[in-house]
Amino acid sequence: MDLHLAVAAGGGRRAGLERALRDAIRDGRLAPGERLPATRQLAEELGVSRNTVKAAYDQLVAEGYLTARQGSGTRVAALPPVETGPPGTGEPARAPRFDLRPGSPDVGAFPAAAWLRALRAAIARAPSPAYDYGDPRGRIELRTALSGYLGRARGVAAPPERIVITSGYVQGLALLTRVLDGGPVAMEDPGLPFHRDVVRRHGGAVVPLEVDGRGACLPGDCAAVVVTPAHQYPTGVTLHPERRRALTEWARARGGLIVEDDYDGEFRYDRQPVGALQGMAPGQVAYLGTASKTLGPALRLGWMVLPPHLVDAVADAKLHSDHHTEVLGQLALAELIDSHAYDRHVRSCRLRYRRRRDLLLDRLGAHRVRGIAAGLHALVEVDDEERVLARAEAYGLAVGRLADHLHTPGGDRPQGLVVGYGTPREGAYREALEVLARALDEAGLGH
């Protein structure tokens, strides 16, 4: 292996080599398990004696930075991870023992075998230009596959020429904000704080949009409105049909843009999933979807179905952002959709998450859980967030809090816990629910 080391001249060659190796291991440039060059080879490359290299290796073995075994050579040791807490606290961050925080699916359910088959098939069929720079809108294979899937599964009017592939929902939201060129954007209150930050960082001015039992209310004077009509995050309500009609009429009358975040629209458990809002007004709605909740956030694959007048502007913004999203994942996802393996995986996940939500209702009481039977999270009403969270933290349980999602926390706003039931592995979920129920009981809020 080639190994670049900046060995300082001062303090002796052996000490300098030790420092250089130690720094490379601490910085992560030499990963755990990496095999180092033989002493003779490294000595020749650095212009030092073999004994100098051997002495440096022996010292770092003694310090625990390296391991040496007969026949296996000298390798980088696995050091304990260094984790940091919130900025400025100086406190180490600890992974929770029980994790019911919202936002992620059960990544242990990733369909590895199906994905590998799809990737092999896609690579076998991929033309050579697929490995070159490509269309900023994304590969035509995936845009065509999504056109069919979104039409039949989500009711989206999605011609391939109006689809832009992104590296996830966040990039799509950022691109649209840039295209809107600083106009005010109404965003649901409560909603995900990170998404508000994305809009602000890309030049948009965020205005709160009230959410009640019928979903998002009508916006006022703004350039765009971002909504989660299928399953509002975090309250769990669905946008009422009258509100859907009123919102599309608002967009037509004002020339405003509706940004539809359909992050978990496939996961409805008590009935067929509600169709996308985009199907009612394709010329006024930018539909954003992602594979993060169905497959896993690691893939970084998302899509936008845009009104015709926005396609070129967004494609140009995408071109100057990262040129195009990586191609092999696009081709594999297209194959997964076309073979219907994607549909089978979504159905399997739907059954798993439905069972998990049913367990949540059974353990905490249906009267306490708010929101429709859908998605990967539920809102649990409590009278005193701080008291419950204190008890939960004492047991090593992490859970979301409604107050963190409000545009302006405080006052007499409702309180609640945002419970994610996608994150824990299957075996740990029941135990996490027991701990949550115990925390509610000890806070005097159990049923």
Encode pLDDT of 256-298 as tens digits: 999 999 988 899 998 888 889 999 999 999 999 999 999 999 9
Name the β-bridge partners of 416. Answer: 381
Average pLDDT over residues 16-27: 87
Closest Cα to residue 280, out of 246, 331, 308? Answer: 246
For residues 163 and 278, what is the distance between their CA atoms, to the nearest angstrom? 13
Please report the pLDDT score of residue 16 as a whole number.
86
Please report the pLDDT score of residue 6 as a whole number.
76
Q: How many CB atoms lie within 10 A of CB 26?
A: 12
Where do the CATH 3.90.1150.10 domains begin and end in the chain? 98-108+344-442
Please report the pLDDT score of residue 216 as a whole number.
96
Give yes or no for residue 85 having a pLDDT over 80. no
Q: Which residue has better confidence, 301 or 424?
A: 301
**Those residues with Cβ within 8 angstroms of residue 112's Cβ, 6 or more apart along the chain or in another chain:** none
**Which amino acid is it at 108?**
G
Phi and psi angles of residue 260, each rounded to the nearest 5 degrees, phi first:
-95, 115
For residues 304 and 143, what is the distance between their CA atoms, to the nearest angstrom? 10
Give yes or no for residue 78 having a pLDDT over 60. yes
Give yes or no for residue 82 having a pLDDT over 80. no
Please report the pLDDT score of residue 384 as a whole number.
86
Name the β-bridge partners of 98. Answer: 397
Encode pLDDT of 322-375 as tens digits: 999 999 999 999 999 999 999 999 999 999 999 999 999 999 887 789 999 999
Q: Are strands 257-261 and 224-227 parallel, antiparallel or unpaired?
A: parallel
Please report the pLDDT score of residue 242 as a whole number.
96
Give yes or no for a contact between 411 and 405, defined as CB atoms under 8 angstroms apart: no
Please report the pLDDT score of residue 136 as a whole number.
97
Q: Indicate the average pLDDT of the chain.
A: 90
Q: Which fold has domain 13-76?
A: Arc Repressor Mutant, subunit A (1.10.10)
In which band, very low, low, confident or very high, does the pLDDT at 447 lie, cut at 50, 70 and 90? low
Where do the CATH 3.40.640.10 domains begin and end in the chain? 109-342
Q: Are strands 205-212 and 184-189 parallel, antiparallel or unpaired?
A: parallel
Q: Which fold has domain 98-108+344-442?
A: Aspartate Aminotransferase, domain 1 (3.90.1150)
Please report the pLDDT score of residue 414 as a whole number.
79
**Which amino acid is it at 72?**
S
Percent share of the chain, pLDDT over 90: 64
Residue 9, both tokens: 């001249």
Please report the pLDDT score of residue 415 as a whole number.
87
For residues 271 and 293, what is the distance between their CA atoms, to the nearest angstrom? 19
Q: Which CATH number fits domain 109-342: 3.40.50.10950, 3.30.70.2190, 3.20.20.80, 3.40.640.10?
A: 3.40.640.10
Q: Per this entry, what is the length of the chain?
A: 447
Give yes or no for residue 413 having a pLDDT over 90. no
Q: How many CB atoms lie within 10 A of CB 192?
A: 20
Where do the CATH 1.10.10.10 domains begin and end in the chain? 13-76
Closest Cα to residue 426, out of 358, 353, 377? Answer: 353
For residues 222 and 131, what is the distance between their CA atoms, to the nearest angstrom? 41
